[in-house]
A and B are shown apart, each in its own frame.
Chain A
Amino acid sequence: MKDDELEVWRRQWRGQPEVPIDLIRKVERQTVYGRIGLLANVLPLLIAIATSVAAFNNPNPLSILFACGLWVFIFMGWLFGIRNSKGTWAPAAQTTAAYVELSIARCRSYLNSFRFTVVMSILLTVFVLVGMYEMLSSAGRLQRRASYEAVALSFLWTIGVISFVLFLLSRKRRKTKIELAYLLDLQHKLENGQSN
């Protein structure tokens, strides 16, 4: 009787509509975008290399200090990234419970990286803007009022963009906090279920 019931449910369950073919196509396109997205990790490295090459071609204490400073920031970022992503790449076991644990670790990792990003963004922005100002000033490019104003405007624009990005990240942070609370609750429920 009960198996009959399960069989009826199975038939009903499988009576649901199939996956539309255009949806599968969309997924396939997204996998391509995913590969392109991996390139974004290389961008800071390219900027630091370009700055170092510029400092090598036109060596002066300021440009060398600027290039070295950028490398320090990049190394700090890498170091933090490696330490913060520890244990967030793969589940400890091939089970749903382990995947939930992994999702929790990823939420915590994001919250840590948000704090790090805020501090680093402020420090890096101050470093870059002060460095740029000093280099432009020592090269005598800020003597005309118009160029001074243009630089001030571009600095303000940079600060505005970074503030906007931090604002967007803070919204994601709120969402992550809610997600973390849900996952911790779910983990608790799953653990309780296991002990039943």
Chain B
Amino acid sequence: MKASLDERYHQLLAAHGPALSRLSASYTRTPSDRDDLFQDIALAIWRALPNFRGESSEKTFIFRVAQNRAVTYLAQRRPPMASDEEIDLPDPRPNPEKGFVREQQETRLLEAIQRLPVEYRQVITLTLEDMSYSEIAEVLGIGESNVGVRLNRAREMLRLLMEVEK
């Protein structure tokens, strides 16, 4: 039983590791923080796996645990980033040190997502992981219509943030 649980855990980690890493990146600012959060999430999944009864899909289960860990991570971090409380528009002037990195579109998107309030960040990251409205609603415990509302707001904010960062 334990062996099969371990096997399943490793399979889940192999299948969803990249997505969990991306999710971790959206809640952190440095690669080492991202790795720390990824480890926290992986451990939380290991602890929660024996209680998984198959009432939802494995993907939904994994992301639910991951979102919970990420939210707890934000709570434990001191002091909270300003962007956790409100949108803090970045300085549009070019930064010579970060200029090279910011030219990369992936980095720009990630930085914009990191600046979103947590309730919008959750919805947009799950959407970018190809999850449907109903799956996102199940993960976050909100209605599907609410998912739509939050996603629209998240996209508007994201567009604005990416424009400013250009």
Interface set of A (CB-CB < 8 Å, partner B):
2, 5-6, 9-10, 12-20, 23-24, 26-28, 30-31, 34, 90-91, 93-100, 102-103, 175, 178-179, 182-183, 186, 189-190, 193-194, 196
Contacts and interface: CB of A to CB of B under 8 A. Distances in A.
Contacts of A103: 68, 71-72, 75
Given A23-B38, A182-B80, A96 B106 contact: no
Given A13-B110, A194-B146, 4 more contacts: A16-B21, A34-B47, A94-B141, A178-B75
A99 B64 contact: yes
B138 interface: yes
A192 B19 CA distance: 28
Given A16-B21, A182-B75, A9 B39 contact: no
Contacts of A5: 155, 159
B91 interface: no
Given A10-B128, A179-B76, A95 B43 contact: no
B7 interface: no
From A12, A91, A193, residue with most partner B Cβ within 10 Å: A193
A99 B67 contact: yes
Contact of B67 (A24, A34, A96, A179): A96
Nearest to A15: B106
11 contacts: A5-B155, A6-B155, A12-B105, A14-B128, A15-B106, A16-B106, A94-B56, A96-B139, A103-B72, A182-B75, A186-B74
Contacts of B106: 12-13, 15-16
B85 to A, nearest CB: 9
A13 B22 contact: yes
Contact of B140 (A20, A30, A95): A95
B71 A175 contact: no
A2 B142 CA distance: 23
Contacts of A26: 39
B13 interface: yes
B128 A99 contact: no
Contacts of B21: 16-19
